[in-house]
Amino acid sequence: MANEKDTFVENIADIEKDFPQWYTDVCKKTQLVDYGPVKGTMVIRPYGYAIWENIQHELDVRFKATGHSNAYFPMLIPMSFMTKEAEHVEGFAPEVAVVTHAGGEQLAEPLVVRPTSETIIGNMYSKWIQSYRDLPVLMNQWANVMRWEKTTRPFLRTSEFLWQEGHTAHATEEEAIEETHKMLGVYKEFAENVLAIPVICGKKTEKEKFAGAVATYGMEAMMKDGKSLQSGTSHYLGQNFAKAFDIKFLDKDGTQKYVYTSSWGVSTRLIGALIMAHGDQRGLVLPPKVAPTQAVIVPIAAKKGGVLEACEKIKGDLEKAGVRVLLDNSDRSPGWKFNEWEMRGVPVRIEVGPRDLEAGKVMLFRRDRCEKAEYPLEGLEKCVADLLESIQTDMLESARAARDERIVKANDLQGILSAVEGGNFVLAGWCGCRECEDKIKEKTAASSRVLSEELQHEVCAVCGKPAKHTVYFARAY
Instruction: List, in order of start, the domains of the chain with CATH numbers.
Output: 2-278 (3.30.930.10), 295-386 (3.40.50.800), 407-474 (3.30.110.30)
pLDDT at residue 85 in the model: 78
Given a cut of 60, whether residue 379 has pLDDT beyond it is yes
The span from the CA of 17 to the CA of 24, in Å, is 14
Mean pLDDT of 33-44: 95
Q: Which residue has the higher pLDDT, 302 or 276?
A: 276
The helix (run of H) or strand (run of E) holding residue 44 is strand 42-44
Task: Give the total residue count for the chain.
Answer: 477
Cα 129 to Cα 78, 136, 175, 185, 442: the distances in Å are: 21, 9, 16, 27, 46
Given a cut of 70, whether residue 10 has pLDDT beyond it is no
Find the mean pLDDT for residues 275-299.
98
Tell me the β-bridge partners of 105: 102
Q: What is the mean pLDDT of the chain?
A: 95
With cut-offs at 50, 70 and 90, classify the pLDDT of residue 305.
confident
For residue range 160-219, what is the model confidence (pLDDT) as tens digits? Answer: 999 999 999 999 999 999 999 999 999 999 999 999 999 999 999 999 999 999 999 999
Residue 464 confidence (pLDDT) above 70: yes
Can you tell me the mean pLDDT for 385-402? 98
Q: What confidence tier does 74 reach under pLDDT thresholds 50, 70, 90?
A: very high
CA 38 to chain centre: 24
C-alpha to C-alpha distances, 358 to 254, 302, 428, nearest whole angstrom: 81, 14, 62
Whole-model pTM: value is 0.95
> Would you say 58 and 194 are in contact if contact means Cβ atoms under 8 Å apart?
yes
Average pLDDT of the segment spanning 414-426? 97
- pLDDT tens-digit readout, 320-372: 999 999 999 999 999 999 999 999 999 999 999 999 999 999 999 999 999 99
> Would you say residue 418 has pLDDT above 90?
yes
8 Å CB contact between 308 and 368: no
Q: How far is CA 379 from CA 328, 360, 385, in A?
A: 21, 11, 10
d(CA 351, CA 341): 12
Residue 399 has pLDDT above 80, yes or no: yes
Q: Please confirm whether the linkage preceding 198 is cis (ω < 30° from 0).
A: no
**Whole-number percent of the chain with pLDDT over 90:** 92
Helix (H) or strand (E) holding 214: none
Dump pLDDT digits (tens) for 79-112. 999 888 777 777 787 889 999 999 999 999 999 9
Return the pLDDT at 94. Answer: 82
Nearest partner of 135 among 259, 236, 240, judged by Cα? 259
- Three-state DSSP at 462 gives coil
